[in-house]
Amino acid sequence: MLNRLARMGGSAWYWLAVLATGLSLDAVALYYQYALDYYPCVLCIHVRIWVLGFVLVAAVALLVRGSRLLLVLSHVLTVALSIGLLERAWMLLGIERGTVEGSCSFDSGLPAWFALDQWFPLLFKVWEACGYTPELLFGVTMAEALVALGMVALLITAVMTVASLAGKPGQ
């Protein structure tokens, strides 16, 4: 089973799926922002940055699939990205439900050397304070969906990382 998962995690199809999922998530966020006028808060922008991380790691992994070491590193990075995504989504849900004390500012909190909000304001500019997220389908809010997605991503990436470490991708 681990060998099969290792082969799957080393395939171009797996990394293309990760890439497509990340691009789709960002496309949905931008649709809600620009077509439906639901503007992003700082935590939403942080989620977009974590999703961008998935896109970049997947793109690099497509190029380095021939190297077991770099492929394992790519899997480990996706676990770290999943943890970051889940933490930001959990915080967003907590603020939405009022279970987390605190508020969000209009400052992205990004350092000057990583000023995505200034370099790409159409994607990463904070437009409003945290408080609620839009409803998607069946009464599920964006924050709830992001927490579920973060958990699924963490489970999948952890399994694929273990498989890439223990399995033999070439068999």
Tell me what pLDDT residue 110 has: 72
- Which ranges constitute the DSSP H helices of the chain? 2-9, 12-34, 42-64, 68-97, 116-119, 121-124, 142-166
Residue ranges per domain, the chain? 2-143+151-166
- The SS3 of residue 132 is coil
| DSSP structure class, residue 135 | B
Tell me what pLDDT residue 8 has: 73
Q: Which CATH architecture has domain 2-143+151-166?
A: Up-down Bundle (1.20)
pTM of the model: 0.86
Which residue(s) pair with 135 in the sheet?
A: 141
Tell me what pLDDT residue 82 has: 95
What confidence tier does 171 reach under pLDDT thresholds 50, 70, 90? very low
Whether residue 65 is predicted with pLDDT greater than 50 in this model: the reply is yes
Q: At residue 169, what is the residue type?
A: P
Tell me what pLDDT residue 168 has: 66
**Using only C-alpha atoms, what is the Rg of the chain?**
17
Which residue(s) pair with 141 in the sheet?
A: 135
Tell me what pLDDT residue 13 has: 94
Tell me what pLDDT residue 103 has: 61
Location of structure tokens 């997947």: 58
Tell me what pLDDT residue 92 has: 87
Whether residue 81 is predicted with pLDDT greater than 80 in this model: the reply is yes
What confidence tier does 26 reach under pLDDT thresholds 50, 70, 90? very high
